[in-house]
Structure 1
Amino acid sequence: MKKEPLAILLGYFTNQTEIMEKILQEVKATKPSAREKVSHLAYLLHNLYCALEDLFQEIAKTFENRIEDLSKYHRELLKRMQLDVPGIRPRVLSKESYLILDELRGFRHIFRHSYDYELAPDRVKSLKQKILTNWRYIERDLDIFIDFLQGAMKD
C-alpha cells in the first residue's frame, strides 16, 4: 500500500483522538442532576461515538473495506472494525471494545432518531460510567492500530 493514504489516516487519527479526549473530559466533568444536564451528557456520548465512527469510516475508506448494505451501515461498520482482514489490515477493535461501542452505537441511534423520547437519566448515567470504566480498552485497541499504521509506513 502507498504511504500517502496511511499518512493521511495517521493524521486523521491524531485529530480524532484530540477531539475524543476533549469530549471524554467533558463527559467526566458532567454531573447529570437535572434534565438539562442529562440531555447534555447524552449529547456528549452521542458525539463521542460519532467521532469514533468518523475514524472507522476513514479506516474503511483507506483500506477499501466497503459496506454494501447501507440500511445497516452503522452496525456493519462497527462489526468490520473487529475483523482481522488478512493481508490488508489487522482488526481495529477487540471483543471488549466492540461490545462497549455497540451499546454506545445503539444509544446514539436512539438519541439521534427518537425526537419524542424522554431520556432515562439512569440509563445515561450508567452508559457514562460504562464508557469511563472501559475506555482503556478502546484506547489500547486504537494504540495498537496506530502502531500497525506506523509500521506499515516504514515498510
Structure 2
Amino acid sequence: MEREQIAGLTAELNAQLRLVERVHQRLSDRVSLGLDTPPQLDSVAYQIHNLYCAAEDLLKLIAHAFENRIGAGSEWHRTLLLRLSQPILGVRPALLTEETFDLMKRLRSFRHFIRHGYGAEIQFTQLKPNLDLAMSLPDRLSQDVQHFLAQLGAESDPL
C-alpha cells in the first residue's frame, strides 16, 4: 500500500474511532441513568448494538482498503471478524488480537439478538456480561488499530 493510501486509511480509521468513542459515551450516559426498568435495559442494549456496528464499520474500512470486498451472504459478519483477525501474507497484518476477536464475536451474537429478537424482553442477567464487554471495546479496538497502523508504517496521531 502506498504512503498516501496509508495516510488516507489512517485518517478514516481515526475518524471511525472517534465515532466509536461517541457511541461509547452515549452508552455510558444510558448506564448512568440506571438499569432498573425495561426501557432502561432496552436503551442500553440498543447502544451496545450501535457500538458494535460502529466497530464493525471500522473493520469494513480495512477490508475494503486491502481486499476490496467483504461478501454479501448471511455469514459476512462472521467472515469479516475472522478475516481481520488474520494477517494476509504480503498484503496486510492482522488487525484484531485474539482477545479483541473473542470480545467482538461475543458482542456480534448479542447484536444479532437485539436486531432480530423483536418480541424478546431484555433481562439484566443477559445484558450485564455484554455491557461489560462493550465497555472495554473502544480501548481494545484503539490499541489494535494503533498496532496495525504501526505495522503498516503509518504516521498516526495517538488517540
Residue in structure 2 matched with residue 67 of structure 1 by the alignment: 70
In structure 1, stretches of 5+ residues that fail to align are none
User: Whose helix proportion is higher, 1 or 2?
Assistant: 1
Indicate the RMSD between aligned Cα atoms, in angstroms. 2.0
- Per-residue CA shift, 1:86-132, capped at 9, x if unaligned? 11111101111111100101111111122122222221122112332
Residue 73 of structure 1, CA deviation? 0.3
Asked if structure 1 preserves the Cα contact closer than 8 Å seen for 2:64 and 2:70, the reply is no
* In 2, Cα distance between equivalents of 1:21 and 1:67: 24
Partner of 1:13: 13
Deviates further, 85-94 or 66-75? 66-75
* Structure 1 position 148, deviation (Å): 2.9
Distance in structure 1 (CA, Å) of the matches to 2:42 and 2:53: 16
CA contact (8 A) 1:6 1:62 kept: no
1:103-122 equivalent positions in 2, closer than 5 A: 103-122=106-125
Evaluate the alpha carbon distance shift between residue 137 and residue 118 of structure 1 in structure 2; reply closer, same or farther with a 3 A threshold.
Answer: same
Task: Please tell me the residue identity of whatever aligns with 2:102.
Answer: L
- Gap runs ≥5 in structure 2: none
- Give the whole-Å Cα distance in 1 for the aligned partners of 2:18 and 2:137: 18
Greater than 4 Å deviation, 4+ residue runs: none
| Superposed CA offset, 1:46-72 (max 9, x none) | 111111111111100100153346220
Structure 1, residues 9-45: CA drift from partner, whole Å, max 9, x if none?
2121111111111222232331322111111111111
Distance 2:88 2:121 in 1: 40
The count of corresponding residues between Structure 1 and Structure 2 is 152
TM-score, length basis structure 1: 0.87
Q: Write the distance in 1 (CA, Å) between the matches of 2:58 and 2:124.
A: 28
Q: Is the 8 A contact 1:100 1:134 kept in 2?
A: yes
Q: Normalized against structure 2, the TM-score is what?
A: 0.85
Tell me the equivalent position of 1:124: 127
1:140 has 2:143 as partner: yes
CA gap of 1:57–1:143, structure 2 versus 1, over 3 A, is: same
Q: What is the percent sequence identity of the aligned residues?
A: 34
